A = this chain, B = another copy of it.
């Protein structure tokens, strides 16, 4: 984050910066047919402490732990090397515990998402091991886009009694049009995952709109016998002036043993935002994801900050299983950026969930109103 000075050694060879995030949420759900879903909860979306640094111009590292569930969970932790191949082309190589480069929303940090939560494409067209894995990633950056390729095993854990699962992931984006005030974004990505014998549980319980309501999940029921997953997706969007739009769609096929059919997940999402205060959307043309906006008139300088209105429709369906399930949400939101790295977010979410099993089986709908206060440093 930008909220901290970067420390340099006297000879300028070393750089170092502490890192952290505090994202505090409160949310309330109402309108469900089930009392157990109409609950009000607080939660921390992220509580992070870490460091990043570098030596010279090529070597860099980062390590960050999250404490938001009152236990430590390691996030990004890697060492890397970056260099230029020509004036136009650069690359980096990183090894360690790596965050996926997968989908537009999925590649955006938790402190930079336009909504309280990432969309269904990012959250469901995903390897079983989730957003992180230990391994290596190569990225190449061109004037009009980037490509990445990674091979990773499991998340960091304490279990070494079985081989890791193996995931190969690739993503590319291009900006066929780009100006000082706009860009067109096209992206595609995919992954293939081979599941270890100890990781064959494919059960999904996917939150809709907010993670802080444990009863609000699109659920498959128990799904054993997974042997691998293959997923892919597409991104189409861009911005012109203060207005952005992004459409994403993806499909995942999870292979199962004993001649059972593939468990299929399909998801798509359409999102848009408008900076009322005239800022450009925080589109990062290097990575093809969102970062933090450059606020024109920060509150800390006596200004009004930046105000963004947002809207999203997203859908997910779990299919080809004994107990299929699906859900969708429509969200209206507002983001008030006090400066580039502090924000207040409010989301009003209409959701509909249809589960075939579980305590809330059947079709149900309702509303969730949730807010977040966040700072990244």
Question: Is A339 an interface residue when CB atoms closer than 8 A count as contact?
Answer: yes
Question: Is A41 an interface residue when CB atoms closer than 8 A count as contact?
Answer: yes
Complex contact B79–A24 (CB within 8 A)? yes
Interface size on A, residues (CB 8 A): 80
What B residues does A69 contact at CB under 8 A?
156-158
Copies of this chain per assembly: 3
Complex contact B214–A41 (CB within 8 A)? no
Question: Is A377 an interface residue when CB atoms closer than 8 A count as contact?
Answer: yes
Contacts A40-B164, A78-B22 given; does A61 touch B377 at CB 8 Å? yes
Choose from B44, B133, B158, B161 the contact partner of A70 (Cβ within 8 Å).
B158
Contacts A77-B47, A162-B39 given; does A157 touch B70 at CB 8 Å? yes
B-contacting residues, A103-152, CB 8 Å: 133-135, 152
Question: Is A213 an interface residue when CB atoms closer than 8 A count as contact?
Answer: yes
Segment among A9-17, A168-176, A253-261 that sits at the interface with chain B = A9-17
Bound CA span A122–B13, Å? 36
Contacts A55-B342, A67-B74, A211-B160 given; does A79 touch B134 at CB 8 Å? no
Nearest chain B CB to A358 CB, angstrom units = 12
Question: Is A375 an interface residue when CB atoms closer than 8 A count as contact?
Answer: yes
What B residues does A296 contact at CB under 8 A?
none
What 1/0 mask marks residues of chain A from 14 to 53 whose CB sits below 8 Å from any chain B CB?
1010101010101000000000100111111001111101
What B residues does A301 contact at CB under 8 A?
56
Q: Which of A7, A18, A61 is most buried by chain B, counting CB atoms within 10 A of its CB?
A: A61
Complex contact A42–B153 (CB within 8 A)? yes
Bound CA span A373–B134, Å? 12
What B residues does A67 contact at CB under 8 A?
65, 72, 74, 77, 156
Complex contact B215–A59 (CB within 8 A)? no
Bound CA span A56–B3, Å? 11
Complex contact B77–A43 (CB within 8 A)? no
What B residues does A326 contact at CB under 8 A?
none
Question: Is A63 an interface residue when CB atoms closer than 8 A count as contact?
Answer: yes
Nearest chain B CB to A1 CB, angstrom units = 11
Complex contact B24–A134 (CB within 8 A)? yes
Nearest chain B CB to A128 CB, angstrom units = 15
Nearest chain B CB to A299 CB, angstrom units = 8
Contacts A42-B134, A153-B41 given; does A22 touch B300 at CB 8 Å? no
Complex contact A51–B158 (CB within 8 A)? no
Complex contact A55–B300 (CB within 8 A)? yes
Which residues from chain A sit less than 8 Å from chain B, CB to CB?
Answer: 3-5, 7-10, 13-14, 16, 18, 20, 22, 24, 26, 36, 39-44, 47-51, 53, 55-56, 58-59, 61, 63, 65, 67-74, 77-79, 95-97, 133-135, 152-164, 211-215, 299-301, 338-339, 342, 373-375, 377
| Extra pairs beyond A5-B7, A36-B162, A95-B373 (18, CB < 8 Å) | A5-B9, A5-B14, A16-B18, A18-B18, A26-B153, A42-B133, A42-B135, A43-B134, A44-B96, A47-B65, A49-B49, A49-B65, A55-B339, A59-B300, A67-B77, A71-B72, A72-B72, A162-B214
Can you list 28 A-B contacts (CB < 8 A)?
Answer: A3-B14, A3-B53, A4-B9, A5-B9, A5-B10, A7-B7, A16-B18, A20-B63, A24-B77, A24-B96, A26-B153, A39-B162, A40-B153, A40-B164, A41-B153, A43-B134, A43-B156, A47-B63, A47-B74, A49-B50, A49-B63, A51-B377, A55-B342, A56-B301, A68-B74, A69-B158, A70-B72, A71-B72
